Structures are given as structure tokens and as C-alpha cells.
Structure 1
Amino acid sequence: MTAQTITKTLVDSLETRGAEYTVWDAKLTGFGVRVRPTGAKTFLLVYRAGTGRTAPFRRYTIGAVGKIAPDAARTQAKALLGSIANGADPASEKRAKRPKTEDVSFDRLCELYLDEYAKPNKSSWKNDEGYLKRPRAALGRSPANTVTDDDIADVLDEIADEAPVSANRTQSVLHKMFEWARQPGRKYVSANPIRGLERRGGKETSRKRVLSDEEIRTLWWGLEDPEVPCDRQVALALKLVLTTMVRPYQAAGALRAELHGLRTAAPEYHMPPHRVKGRREVVVSLSPLALEVIDLTNSENQIPIFPSKYGEEPQPIRRSALSQALNDKPSEGRIGVRTFLGMEHFTPHDLRRTAATIARRGGALRTDVKATLDHVDGDVTAVYDKYDMLAEKRAVANILASELRKIIGCRPESIDAEIIREQLPYLRSAEMREAS
């Protein structure tokens, strides 16, 4: 690829390909930005360690795009080249500073994996961090190289007793971590102890849970009950998932600055690359019903749309807050939203599936719903077809809003979970009479 001046505009425009590639800077020899198929972008410097043509080439990672600006990365590259000219070898020095295998505890290995691999390469790194909590609590002090498959299996079996799917996800993260840790240049462990280990959570079946109309109405108005056991911001974030089809973490992490045209005919939520699978910016069309949910947050004066009550600085609610609000927590004597409303098990992600089903039932085309869900095609044509389908997504959003309004009806006189359930048969009959 022809060298170009590396600027923020250029870096933001670089798209993923089927293989890793590097764009080199036209002004500073050896300075470039690497783009991985996952969408991760990293500033790097390539140089010769020593003088003469026989001196080996070294590759030094400066930092991940998003954590360091292009100008700052170039400044750091210049400083490194100055030290290299005086005989330094920063790549070798960095390797020498790595902790020795016998000094790396399991807890430290998890920390290294998150900092050096998951955070720079995975938009879902917080999921990895969450899945590693139980293993870290159980095995944290053990030297990483002494952890066995039996040790891991014991932890996974404990998780599987409560949450089989979570056990499988934890096992996948651990497998990836050990594979990463045993590679040349790291060698924190000599082998992956769980390679070939059967899934401790058992075989999984595809999720098919879709809430019925009665359940949707119960949930919608039940979340307005003053006694509902969850914070107001969490309740509204759950509603935003249902009205937009965004993923739960994309609703929880939304910022005010990412909302555009709220008082126009085409309001949108512009999701940044770090909050999207594949590290792409995605535009979500907001229906009038979704705007009503957002308006209830008073977000005009807030940096996050759904601010957390924890921490001194304004920050969004945690991505796990939505699922935790639905679940009971017997250890704290707390019931979740599902139990409070007398509903069968469902997850925040099931609201997304429910919304897609309602939109299809209302007449939205499958291809348009697929675009709204941001389900990306994996074929070659998708690499070249960059049509954003905003008009189609706007139509889906409006169909979904119309169908949801029919389902939820008018606000009950008393917002009480038991009363809502008692009124449902009558309210549904009334809606059918009105429709006829």
C-alpha cells in the first residue's frame, strides 16, 4: 500500500479486510498503523536493531488506536527512533521486562490477558473480564503454569450448577487466554491445560424465547411501578432495547452526544465502533416511541443517557446491570424484576429478539429487520456494498413502534404488577373490540 500521512481522519477511514494489513506513514519511516480482521487498529514502529544490512528488524507496538492519538503516537515514534539511533532496542527491552513464567500468578495472567489482548482487540472485553471473576477468585494466587485441567473443571462445574451457558462462556475465555499465554514472546504457561476439555456447561440449544403480547404489556407497565426492584435508568434502558432492537450493552452505554436530530423527522443514535461488533460505526433510527423513552431520562443535561448512581464522574450504567436487575439475588434477599412481575425467565437479549419478531409480524421485510439488528453479511459482496439502509431501518423502527403501542395500550390507572396481570384479559379484549 502507498504510504500516506497518518492522521485521525485516515485512521478512522481504514476498514477491515480478510487479512491483517499495515498503512505506513509518508513522513516518518517505520511508523504505521496495523489493522486486524477483527477491526482492532494499533500504532507500531518497525526498525533495525543495530547498524548495517544484517541488523535484524524489530516491531514495537506503540499503542491501540483510541487510547493514543495519531499525533501522540508519531511523537512517541520519533522519540523511539532517537533512542534507537543511540543503540537502544526498545522491543527487546520490552520483552526483558515481561514477568518470568514462575513469577506469574493466575490472577496476574488474567490481568495481562485483559490489558494486552482483550482490551486492544475485542469490543466485548468487559464480557471477558466478567467471565474471569470466578476463576480469579478461586485460583488467583496459584502460579499460572501450575493450574491444571482439574482445577479449571472444578471452577467451571460450580458455575454450571447455577448457569450452564455462563460456564461454557467462561471456558471459552479461559481457553483463549491460555492459548494467548503460551505463544512465543510470552510463554507465561508451557501449555494450555484445558485444550480438549469437554464443555462443562453441556450442549447448548439456540435461544428462541420471545415474549408474548401479554408479557410485553406486563413488563412495560410493570417497569413503571414505584416498587419495581430496579433503578429507573435500568428500567428505561430495558425499554430502549425493546423499542430499538439494539443490543443490551449498546443501550446501557449510550451517550447524549451520540444522539442526533432528536427534534427532526429522522432522529438517530450513532453507535461508535467500540460499541459495535466488527468495530464499525452503525446508525440506529429512533422511532417516536424510542424518543419518549429517552425523554424520560432527562438526558439533555446528562453525558450518559442512562447514568450510573455509582462513581464520582458521570458514567453509563454497567452492561451487566440490565440482566442483574431481572435476576433474583437470594444471597442479598432481593427478588428481581421477573419474580416481581410473575414472569417466566427471559433475558435482556430476548427483548431484542422479541422486537424483531413483532416488527416482522407487523409487515417489516426480513432483510430490513436484519439490517436493523446489524446482522452483517459475511460474503464478498458485503465488502463493496456500503449502502446504509437508513430509510429501510427507519421504516422498521416505525412499524415496531406502531405494533408496540397496540400491545401496551394505555397506562393502567394503578401501576401495580398484580393489577396489570388481572387487567390483561379485559384490556386485550377491549383492544380487539376497538380494532374490529
Structure 2
Amino acid sequence: MTYISESHLKASETRQNISDDPVRGQKGFVLRTTPNGVFNFYYQFLNKNRLHPETSKPVREWHLIGEHPDWTIARARAEATRLAGLVAQGKSLTAVRNQLQTLARSTGRTFEQMHDAYLDYCTEPVLRRWGTVARKESHENIRSLLSRPLAWWASRVTSEITGQEIMELYRSFVAEGHPAQANGVLTCLRTMFTWAMHPDRAFVTSNPVPTLRGDDRATEVSDIEDGLVLSADQLRTLWYGLDDPKCPGRRLTKLVYKLSLVTLLRTGECVAIRRADIAADTVTIPLAITKGRRSPKARDVVQPLNSLAREILGEVFSIGDPNREYAFPKSRGGRKSRSEAQTNKPYMEQRSLNILSRASSDTRDQIGIAEYLGLPPELTPHDLRRTSACILEQLGYSDAEIGRVMTHKTKDKDAAAVTRKHYLVPVKIIEREIADPRVKALNDLDAALREILGLPTTGTKELPPPSKQLAAA
């Protein structure tokens, strides 16, 4: 080997690699010469952690240091020595150098720039199985969750934002009594910073958002309570109260609550029902609306319609244009929210259903339905779905059967854990005694055997009276 010096900086007839003397110089330091007079410095070594797939021998890695004359021999040799030290410490040169490049690119890039780039990424149209939609269909919720972080850190250099500052933001939501929103903002920030670490974006080199567990995490109401379920009296109050002309809200809005109660469909699915998707005994919710579309085997939800559901839909289409496309169209006039202006959905916005739990102390001038009817102020549209699920359980249906009615998807078609955990609350709603489900099963078996054996299906024989001997005993 030759000690690399200025005498080697001359064009060669072919490309040549000149290795530095490991005694006088640095082992692994290489000068590459070319016929056109370009001279590059490299550091190369055998990576024992990477084996060739065919020979099973360590792979030789080459890392470009730089080109002469930007890099002098002395400076390049010093860099090769530094890289050799990293290798001796067991570090990945590729990872270290990528991190340094990312850090250099991230310097000076603000949180606002990262925020805007991330929202552009979220709203970018992509083709899914259910059509062309935004990459993240929840982008409006993401925008809302990031509004306070943006107000706090818009002009801050992204790489300078610390975990302590993020926790200060987190505690500001908790102090206002919004633990669920605090946890949502933290999750959204963690996702965005992870996205920003990609080498092609290079806003940051690490994710400063802490992962909270146990007592460090703000406790949400859903973590400590099973959820609200209406009693029989409360259910009657709601059902007939919604028919009161003085009850707050549009009639179509109030019919959404009733339809969700009798079909167990989510209110977000109810508002998107199209007239063309309503059959005599079923309603179809398109894949683009249903939550189950995340599953590779997801299909449109086809929900049976009972008599109450058919009556409600009949009233729905008796209001306004009976030939309209959507059962619950967006209201005309009034001030549109930012979400409505950007999503441009032709049907009712789900957030308009918040009138159920709106309080009179709200800045808006309209009292909420729950407060008007004297129902629990924390009542939400989803509690109606929970109430119906509990009624089904008290009628003797299994978790698996209730889960299928609620369209909770599972691979083995058994009960989804979420059905029991979040919906089936031990609150008695039905006052009368419910027949043992085994009675119905055995009666169904009776009917099937009669059909198979050709036995008459009408009339029942009374059991013979006990014999005198048996009665005396």
C-alpha cells in the first residue's frame, strides 16, 4: 500500500483505487483517480453485520467523503479516521450520515412550513377501492387538532421544538377539562413528526413527542365510565320529546337520532343514506362511508329495516323534495363552517347533530335537545346506539349477534371486543321478564323436526295427568 500524497493527484489511463498505508496513514482511506482528472476520496471497510446473500461473506461498503480540491488529502484522511471510529463503535455509517444530512436540511425550516406540507400530503387525492378521495379522509379533524400547535409555534424552527414544550401544550388542554382532545393532539403531533422525519422531507431528525402511559396520560371519560345508556323512562322522554314542535333542531336532524336508535347504524352513516340505496326491507351504506372499508375484504353495509325504520324513512321523504338524492340533505342558507366549505358534502354534516348535547351556556343562542327534555347533558348521538345494543343483550342475543347488527367487523366473525367493552352496559332497560333464549331455540328445533318428519304443525297435546299412584306418592 502507498501513503497517499499530492504526487498521486494525476490523471490515470484507467480508473484506479489507491489505498492509504494503514501504518503511516488511515486504513480504509482510498483515493480514486479517473482518466478525465476527477479525484474522489472514499472510506471503505468490511461490514461484518451485512453478509452477501450468495457467498455469506461480509459486504464491503464504500462511503464517499468528497472530491478534490474541495477536500484536501489531509482533511479527507481526518474524515476517514472519524468514520473508522464510528465503525469501531458499532454504528451504522449510512444512518449517521443520513441523520447529518437531514439535520443540515432541517435547519431554519419552521413549524408552519412542516404543518402546511403535512396538510398538503393529507389532502392529496389518491385512488382507493371506493373512489378518489383525500389521502387522509380525516384531514379536517387533523387540521382542527393542529390549530393550537400552529398558533403556538408557527414561526419556530421545527427542529428546536422540545418535548417539554409539547407537554406544556398538552397540559393546556387538560387544564381546560379536555383530556380527550389533549390525547388526540398528542397523537396527531406524533404522527406528523414521524412523517416529517422521512429523508425526502427532512424537517426533523428525531421525534420530540413523548409517549405517555399510565398516570402520565390524562384520563378520558371513556376510560373510567362504561358510557351513557338511557333508561326506559328516558327513552320515552327522548322519543316523544323529539316530536315536540318546540324541541330544538330541524325535524330532519331529530329523525336522524330516531333512525340510528332503531337501526343501530352510526349517525355518520344515517346522514349519508341515498334514496337509491333504500330497498323494501334493507338500506345499503356505500363502502366510501362505512368504517369497515379499512379491511381488505370490506363491502358495503346492507342493514335490514324494521317497521320503525321504514316509518321513519317514510316521514323523512315526506319533508321537502320527495325525489331528492339524499334522505338528509345539507340545509340551505346560513353560515357554512370551514369544514362544510372544504368538504362540500351533499348531505347533512355530522357535526350538526351536536345540538343533542348543546348547553344553554354555549355561545350559540339555541338550547340543546338533552337540556330541553331534561335528559343527562352528556348525552351523545352514539349513546343511542349503545342503548339499543343493551336492549338486544337483554333480549337474549349474544355478543357476536349484537356485534354483527352493529357492523363490528372481525376476521373470525365472532364478537368484536369493542362490542362488549364499549356498548354492553349493565343497565336494566326492559322491565318485563325476558324469555329464556333456549326456549326459542328448542321451539325452532320443534318446527324443523315437524317439517322433516311430516308431522302436523297445529295443535298441542296436553300432558296426561299424573297417575293416582304417582299422586299418592
Verify same fold: TM over 0.5.
Answer: yes
Match of 2:172 in 1: 158
Report % sequence identity: 27
C-alpha separation in 2, matches of 1:148 and 1:120: 31
Contact preservation (8 Å) 1:306, 1:316: yes
Q: Deviations over 1:322-375 (max 9, x none)?
A: 235422252234432221111112221111111111122234343221111111
C-alpha separation in 2, matches of 1:206 and 1:123: 29
Contact preservation (8 Å) 1:156, 1:170: yes
Match of 1:318 in 2: 349
Letter in 2 for 1:286: L
Residue 366 in structure 1 maps to residue 399 in structure 2: yes
C-alpha separation in 1, matches of 2:235 and 2:267: 17
Letter in 1 for 2:237: T
Shift of 1:223: 1.8
Match of 1:114 in 2: 122
C-alpha separation in 2, matches of 1:231 and 1:151: 44
Contact preservation (8 Å) 1:157, 1:200: no
Residue ranges of structure 2 left out of the alignment (5+ in a row): 1-104, 127-132, 415-429, 431-473
Contact preservation (8 Å) 1:273, 1:282: no
Match of 2:274 in 1: 255
Match of 1:202 in 2: 219
Give 3-state SS (helix, strand or coil) of 2:350's partner: coil
C-alpha separation in 2, matches of 1:304 and 1:100: 50
Contact preservation (8 Å) 1:254, 1:306: yes
Contact preservation (8 Å) 1:240, 1:290: yes
Q: Deviations over 1:243-281 (max 9, x none)?
A: 111122212333333x231xx3x2223332443234422
Contact preservation (8 Å) 2:111, 2:153: no
Q: Deviations over 1:122-153 (max 9, x none)?
A: 55554434433444454445454444434433
CA RMSD of aligned residues (A): 3.4
- Structure with the bigger percentage of helix: 1
Contact preservation (8 Å) 1:181, 1:189: yes
Residue ranges of structure 1 left out of the alignment (5+ in a row): 1-97, 386-402, 404-436
Residue 306 in structure 1 maps to residue 306 in structure 2: no
Structure (1 or 2) with the larger CA radius of gyration: 2
C-alpha separation in 1, matches of 2:406 and 2:233: 24
Shift of 1:120: 4.7
Letter in 2 for 1:260: I
The partner residue of 1:102 within 100, 103, 109 is: 109
Give 3-state SS (helix, strand or coil) of 1:269's partner: strand
Residue 181 in structure 1 maps to residue 196 in structure 2: yes
C-alpha separation in 2, matches of 1:144 and 1:324: 39
C-alpha separation in 2, matches of 1:227 and 1:155: 42
Match of 1:3 in 2: none
Match of 1:294 in 2: 313
Summarize the alignment of residues 6-85 of structure 1 with structure 2, pairs less than 5 Å apart.
Answer: none
Q: Deviations over 1:176-195 (max 9, x none)?
A: 22212222322233332213
Letter in 1 for 2:350: R
Contact preservation (8 Å) 1:260, 1:268: yes
C-alpha separation in 2, matches of 1:294 and 1:188: 51
Contact preservation (8 Å) 1:103, 1:143: yes
Identify if the C-alpha distance between structure 1 residues 320 and 251 changes in structure 2 by more than 3 Å, giving closer, same or farther: same
The partner residue of 2:408 within 363, 375, 384 is: 375
Match of 1:354 in 2: 387
TM-score computed with the length of structure 1 as normaliser: 0.56
Contact preservation (8 Å) 2:290, 2:301: no
C-alpha separation in 1, matches of 2:387 and 2:288: 25
Contact preservation (8 Å) 1:109, 1:188: no
Letter in 2 for 1:336: G
Q: Of the two structures, which has the highest relative contact order with CA contacts closer than 8 Å and spacing of 6 or more? A: 1
Match of 1:268 in 2: 283
Match of 1:226 in 2: 245
Contact preservation (8 Å) 1:113, 1:177: no
Identify if the C-alpha distance between structure 1 residues 103 and 133 changes in structure 2 by more than 3 Å, giving closer, same or farther: closer
Letter in 1 for 2:313: I
Identify if the C-alpha distance between structure 1 residues 176 and 137 changes in structure 2 by more than 3 Å, giving closer, same or farther: same
TM-score computed with the length of structure 2 as normaliser: 0.52
Identify if the C-alpha distance between structure 1 residues 139 and 104 changes in structure 2 by more than 3 Å, giving closer, same or farther: closer
C-alpha separation in 1, matches of 2:158 and 2:355: 31
Shift of 1:289: 0.8
The partner residue of 2:258 within 239, 243, 248 is: 239
Shift of 1:231: 2.6
Shift of 1:110: 4.7
Q: Deviations over 1:73-116 (max 9, x none)?
A: xxxxxxxxxxxxxxxxxxxxxxxxx9997166154145235225
Identify if the C-alpha distance between structure 1 residues 249 and 135 changes in structure 2 by more than 3 Å, giving closer, same or farther: farther
